Amino acid sequence: MSQLPSSQLRAYADAHPKPPNIEYQYGTAGFRTLGSVLDSVLFRVGVLAGLRSKRLEGRTVGVMVTASHNPEQDNGVKLVDPRGEMLEASWEQYATFLANAPTTDAFLDVVDAVVKNTKIDLSRPARVVYGRDTRPSGAELVSALEDGLKAIGAETRNAGITTTPILHYLVRAINTKGTAESYGEDSEEGYYLKLSGAFKKLIAGKTKPEPIVIDCANGVGALAAEKISQHLGDSLPMILENTATTTKGALNYQCGADFVKTGQKLPPSLADKLKPGQRACSFDGDADRLMYYYLDERGHFQMLDGDKIAALVASFIVDLVRLAGLEKEVKVGLIQTAYANGASTKYLSDRLPVKCVSTGVKHLHHAAEHYQIGVYFEANGHGTILFSRETLEKLSTHEPNTPAQSTALNHLVNLTHLINQTVGDAISDMLLVEVVLTHKSYSGAEWNSLYTDLPNRLVKVVVADRNAFKTEDAERRLVSPAGLQQKIDELVRKFEGGRSFVRPSGTEDVVRVYAEAAIRAQADELAYRVGGLVYDEAGGDPKGRPKEFV
Ligand code: G16
């Protein structure tokens, strides 16, 4: 193909018309909205994925159909670049333009413009691997995607129903197959073998962990956890809960990482099952986020969120680097967002460089690439650790001087296999946490005592137009609506240890408000009062006013 297959594209595009009066946006994690209005978007993303692969000389790109933590009726789609990372930011605008072209003619014009602007050699092959989560709308949306892939003439591989992190793994494994940088066998089985093999090496000779309770959010993580559990055997006994992947309405409902983090409470389905002190964790709907928790001896819920995971694993890595005698050559850095609890930032800043960036894995991932070892975690439990190419090389060539150095070096090498470096991965992150807890012989309570969280509260406000909210300074300050930030500042000053910020969500049609303060009641009050300001300033929808400030 040296020219666009225009009549083929037209015929397929006519079968997937864009609904009028809907404006799509490639946001924090791709397109995300009601599954029922995404048919044309999926078709067009198929075409774009083909073009992206051609632009990258036929390297395989990925497409994941998921709305992750969102409610079951939502769905979404995001593109994965060849190293398993999120789509290059400059291409997000093409995705948005393509999705919003009102007619087939307009769509073909945008396709043509993308080809010209990005200088695509159309004679190159297009290769795309795609997968989806368990949402009921997934099958039809995948068939729209497949039409887009056929229309642009892509070679395809269907990864079926799988987790987002496994799809990212597959993309990297396919593209590095047979090279010195091979990421592993390019199959789901290859993923399980790689992670479980590394886990077993890392805990060899240690006391086996007690069973862990896993809330699978009634999503695809249940299927993946079941499979990896077979590989892990008694090296990590798992009790899988919320595994109803085919029950209508069950996905993410009253369970899952987002439910736990936002509500700061246990999924009700675990209330009678969890014993005090027992470790438990929640995945989200596509198993790329992880939240840990336990009940203390008084039966009170204690949450170990993404910040606590970062504190645990970053300190472990820093110690290993030092023990391996590499601290002069290998610098470890940590990336957080404005949602990071102030107490975590303080704890971690004493141990390693900490940087704050905007919400969205893509921002954290790119910032983490600037370190030899970059640890990134969002407070919501989304994160991973990146080892730079030179670090991987150093770990494989470094000559240890002592047995202790050799052990630490081995652990670091095994961690590079355990950690899914393409994106946050609930299963890989859970295994990482289990390794650290095993090495340190930590209970949940000991881990929790690394630092004490400042009380905090997150609320959502439904407003007329969330795009009216613009931020700066890594989303810590509002620049519009005009004057609102000053009002927030005045309010925050009245609360001891107060901090609050407001930002539009990129995955839900809401504005998010975060607040923390020295005591719980104040954090709650600050969040609801800032929420009230947002509501009053921005023409809030009466349905969106959280009941606490009605
Ligand atoms: C996605 C992104 C995360 C982000 C989250 C919430 O997560 O990948 O980086 O923190 O959305 O974003 P927002 O506050 O903009 O809605 P997931 O797990 O839903 O894919």
Q: Provide the pLDDT for residue 550.
A: 32
**Domain check: are 338 and 412 in the same one?**
yes
Q: Say yes or no: CB of residue 459 within 6 Å of ligand 1.
A: no
Last residue of a domain, one of 370, 401, 424: 424
Contacts of residue 443, Cβ cutoff 8 Å, sequence gap at least 6: 277, 294, 437
Q: Which of 40, 53, 68, 315 is catalytic?
A: 68
The preferred substitution site among 361, 364, 365 for testing ligand 1, maximizing ligand atoms within 8 Å of CB, is 361
Binding residue per annotation — 215? no
Residue 440 lies in a domain: no
**Coil, helix or strand at residue 401:** coil
Q: Provide the pLDDT for residue 400.
A: 94
Residue 44 lies in a domain: yes
Indicate which CATH number applies to the domain containing 502.
3.30.310.50
Split at pLDDT 50, 70, 90, the class of 508 is: confident
**Domain check: are 297 and 310 in the same one?**
no
Q: Whose CA is nearest to atom 9 of ligand 1?
A: 360
Q: Whose CA is nearest to atom 3 of ligand 1?
A: 360
State which ligand 1 atom lies nearest to the alpha carbon of 337. 10
Binding residue per annotation — 75? no
**pLDDT above 80 (res 214):** yes
**pLDDT above 90 (res 380):** yes
Q: What are the tokens at 461?
A: 């406000």
Q: Provide the pLDDT for residue 371.
A: 97
Q: Say yes or no: CB of residue 363 within 6 Å of ligand 1.
A: no
Q: What are the tokens at 39?
A: 């048919």
Q: Whose CA is nearest to atom 20 of ligand 1?
A: 68
Contacts of residue 225, Cβ cutoff 8 Å, sequence gap at least 6: 214, 216, 238, 240, 283, 287, 427
Residue 544 lies in a domain: no
Give 284-309 pLDDT, tens digit per residue: 999 999 999 999 999 999 999 999 99
**105 C-alpha to center of ligand 1: Å?**
33
Question: E-strand spans in 315-423?
Answer: 332-337, 354-357, 373-377, 383-387
Q: What are the tokens at 434?
A: 């289990």
**28 C-alpha to center of ligand 1: Å?**
6
Split at pLDDT 50, 70, 90, the class of 544 is: low
Binding residue per annotation — 506? yes
Q: Provide the pLDDT for residue 27.
A: 85
Rounded CA-CA distance 503/514 in Å is 9
Binding residue per annotation — 507? yes
Rounded CA-CA distance 199/380 in Å is 24
Rounded CA-CA distance 435/197 in Å is 13
Please give the DSSP secondary-structure letter assigned to residue 107. Answer: H
Give 387-428 pLDDT, tens digit per residue: 999 999 999 999 999 999 999 999 999 999 999 999 999 999
Compute the mean pLDDT over every residue in the chain, rounded to the nearest whole number: 96
**Domain check: are 236 and 260 in the same one?**
yes
Residue type, 284: D
State which ligand 1 atom lies nearest to the alpha carbon of 32. 19
Q: Provide the pLDDT for residue 55.
A: 98
Number of CB atoms found within 10 A of residue 541's CB: 14
Q: Whose CA is nearest to atom 1 of ligand 1?
A: 29
Q: Say yes or no: CB of residue 360 within 6 Å of ligand 1.
A: yes
Q: Say yes or no: CB of residue 284 within 6 Å of ligand 1.
A: yes
Q: Is the dihedral of CA 247, 249, 250, 252 positive or negative?
A: positive
When pLDDT is averaged across residues 340-363 and rounded to a whole number, the result is 96
Binding residue per annotation — 68? yes
Asked if 61 and 127 touch (Cβ cutoff 8 Å), the reply is yes
Split at pLDDT 50, 70, 90, the class of 542 is: low
Q: Provide the pLDDT for residue 545.
A: 59
Asked if 171 and 421 touch (Cβ cutoff 8 Å), the reply is no
Binding residue per annotation — 380? yes
Residue 35 lies in a domain: yes
Give 141-181 pLDDT, tens digit per residue: 999 999 999 999 999 999 999 999 999 999 999 999 999 99
Q: Which helix (H) or strand (E) holds 434?
A: helix 426-440
State which ligand 1 atom lies nearest to the alpha carbon of 27. 15
Residue 351 lies in a domain: yes
**Domain check: are 271 and 416 in the same one?**
no
**Domain check: are 20 and 155 in the same one?**
yes
Q: Say yes or no: CB of residue 66 within 6 Å of ligand 1.
A: no
Indicate which CATH number applies to the domain containing 201.
3.40.120.10
Binding residue per annotation — 429? no
**Domain check: are 12 and 157 in the same one?**
yes
When pLDDT is averaged across residues 262-280 and rounded to a whole number, the result is 96
Rounded CA-CA distance 126/54 in Å is 5
Contacts of residue 397, Cβ cutoff 8 Å, sequence gap at least 6: none
Rounded CA-CA distance 160/325 in Å is 44
Please give the DSSP secondary-structure letter assigned to residue 481. Answer: S
**pLDDT above 50 (res 230):** yes
Q: Say yes or no: CB of residue 289 within 6 Å of ligand 1.
A: yes
List, in sequence order, every residue forming a beta bridge with 74; answer none if it has no partner.
34
Asked if 386 and 368 touch (Cβ cutoff 8 Å), the reply is yes
**Domain check: are 272 and 329 in the same one?**
no
Indicate which CATH number applies to the domain containing 327.
3.40.120
**200 C-alpha to center of ligand 1: Å?**
31
Full residue range of the structural domain in which residue 519 is found? 456-537
Nearest to 39 by CA among 64, 15, 5, 21: 15
Nearest to 44 by CA among 60, 31, 59: 31
Rounded CA-CA distance 23/512 in Å is 21
The preferred substitution site among 26, 259, 261, 359 for testing ligand 1, maximizing ligand atoms within 8 Å of CB, is 359
Rounded CA-CA distance 439/545 in Å is 46
Cα R_g (the chain), whole angstroms: 23
Q: Provide the pLDDT for residue 331.
A: 97
**69 C-alpha to center of ligand 1: Å?**
8
Q: Say yes or no: CB of residue 261 within 6 Å of ligand 1.
A: no
What is the total residue count of the chain?
Answer: 550
Rounded CA-CA distance 513/459 in Å is 5
**Domain check: are 358 and 398 in the same one?**
yes
Residue 545 lies in a domain: no
Residue appearing with tokens 């009102």: 102
Last residue of a domain, one of 253, 285, 304: 304
Residue appearing with tokens 């003439």: 153
Asked if 225 and 252 touch (Cβ cutoff 8 Å), the reply is no
Binding residue per annotation — 181? no
Last residue of a domain, one of 161, 180, 215: 161
Residue type, 232: L
Q: What are the tokens at 223?
A: 């299927």
Q: Provide the pLDDT for residue 184.
A: 97
**Would residue 229 show up in a list of annotated catalytic residues for this protein?**
no
Nearest to 535 by CA among 507, 505, 502, 508: 502
**pLDDT above 60 (res 547):** no
Q: Provide the pLDDT for residue 549.
A: 45
**Domain check: are 156 and 38 in the same one?**
yes
**506 C-alpha to center of ligand 1: Å?**
7
Dihedrals phi, psi of 466, to nearest 5 degrees: -70, -20
**169 C-alpha to center of ligand 1: Å?**
19
**Domain check: are 275 and 317 in the same one?**
no
Number of CB atoms found within 10 A of residue 398's CB: 18
Q: How many domains is the chain built from? A: 4
Please give the DSSP secondary-structure letter assigned to residue 304. Answer: E
Q: Say yes or no: CB of residue 67 within 6 Å of ligand 1.
A: no
Contacts of residue 272, Cβ cutoff 8 Å, sequence gap at least 6: none
State which ligand 1 atom lies nearest to the alpha carbon of 289. 18
**Domain check: are 300 and 310 in the same one?**
no
**Domain check: are 344 and 249 in the same one?**
no
Q: Say yes or no: CB of residue 506 within 6 Å of ligand 1.
A: yes
Rounded CA-CA distance 45/57 in Å is 18
Residue 299 lies in a domain: yes
Q: Provide the pLDDT for residue 25.
A: 94
Q: Say yes or no: CB of residue 380 within 6 Å of ligand 1.
A: yes
When pLDDT is averaged across residues 372-376 and rounded to a whole number, the result is 98
**pLDDT above 90 (res 538):** no
**362 C-alpha to center of ligand 1: Å?**
10
**141 C-alpha to center of ligand 1: Å?**
21
**pLDDT above 70 (res 548):** no
Residue 403 lies in a domain: yes
